[in-house]
Amino acid sequence: MSTEPVIASASVVRQFYALTKPRVIQLIVFCALIGMLLAVPGLPSWGELRLALLACLGIWLVAGAAAAFNCIVEKGIDARMKRTAWRATARGELADWQTLLFSAVLCSAGCVLLYRWVNPLTMWLTLATFIGYAVVYTVILKPLTPQNIVIGGASGAMPPVLGWAAMAGDVGPEALILFLIIFLWTPPHFWALALYRVEDYRKSGLPMLPVTHGNQFTRLMILLYTLILFAACLMPYIYGMSSWLYLIAALLLNTGFCLYGFYLWRDYSDELARKTFRYSLLHLSLLFAALMVDHYLF
């Protein structure tokens, strides 16, 4: 029996899986999980853990659907960018109808799961996030304005709100604070990437900030956003969501981010922009991990 069909099937599965942007989805689900855990006072029961697991799966499915839909819309742009030219949609290895069907199945399955086994509010919020990212951001904002990542960042900031709604059945002030943190974190995170990938974005024709306003202006914006983010990251402590443990972590992590922003503004290099981008990922992960640890210890 030939192994070629099996190998080909495995290759197609990997291509579809890659369209869901797994590394991005991991961060989305992690932030949603933090929102879930913070919404439950004390240690969660087995029933609450089961609910959280189902909610994570539903959010993963819809987020993966949005990522796949994004690959269809941007396949021409992806083909012109070194960072994304490897995607199956950009290379023409997957037809549009295949990717669209894949996205529709994931989105439908996620919405049904969330509506039936979590709660309708979480389903509607997750669906709105899908529309916000896949349609409002990808189709309308991204090719239209250099502020695309700022406005469109609202969709990316929704995961902890979705997680909170899944467990609490509402959207409390705590969830909105978490939303604000990610909303303000997104521009310096993404602009650091755009700085050292500026030629890719110039070729793509997208009006990203470094292309439309230049390197120096973008660096200034990164610095200013890290300072504003610093203040926002203190809100969980000020509001009473957390104790001194989170406060110390927030002070250290945000001081580091501000220093990266300052050095990037003062003396630019592509390598420093890469380090700033990588640090931003570490910053958000550790910040939310500190919130979770603080929640259970204090």
* Residues found in the chain: 298
Sign of CA dihedral 19, 21, 25, 26: positive
Q: How many CB atoms lie within 10 A of CB 97?
A: 9
Last residue of a domain, one of 125, 144, 171: 171
Q: 125 and 184: one domain?
A: no
CATH number at residue 30: 1.10.357.140
Spatial distance between the Cα atoms of 227 and 216, rounded to a whole number of angstroms: 17
Q: 90 and 222: one domain?
A: no
The distance of Cα 72 from the centroid of its chain, to the nearest Å, equals 19
Using one digit for the tens of pLDDT, what is the confidence trace for 214-226?
A: 999 999 999 999 9
Question: What is the mean pLDDT of the segment spanning 167-171?
Answer: 95
How is residue 148 written in tokens?
């695309």
pLDDT for residue 152? 79
Among the residues of 20-117, which ranges form H helices? 22-39, 46-73, 75-80, 96-117
8 A C-beta contact, residue 262 and residue 223: yes
Spatial distance between the Cα atoms of 31 and 178, rounded to a whole number of angstroms: 9
Q: 39 and 156: one domain?
A: yes
Q: Average the pLDDT over each of 165-174, 201-210, 213-222 and give the range with the smallest value.
A: 201-210
Q: 257 and 116: one domain?
A: no
pLDDT for residue 169? 94
Using one digit for the tens of pLDDT, what is the confidence trace for 36-45?
A: 999 999 889 9
Judge residue 172's burial from the number of C-beta atoms within 10 Å of its C-beta, 0-12 exposed, 13-18 middle, 19 or more buried: middle
Q: How many CB atoms lie within 10 A of CB 267?
A: 9
8-state DSSP, 283 = H
How is residue 11 written in tokens?
């290759």
Amino acid at 251: L
pTM for the predicted model, two decimal places: 0.90
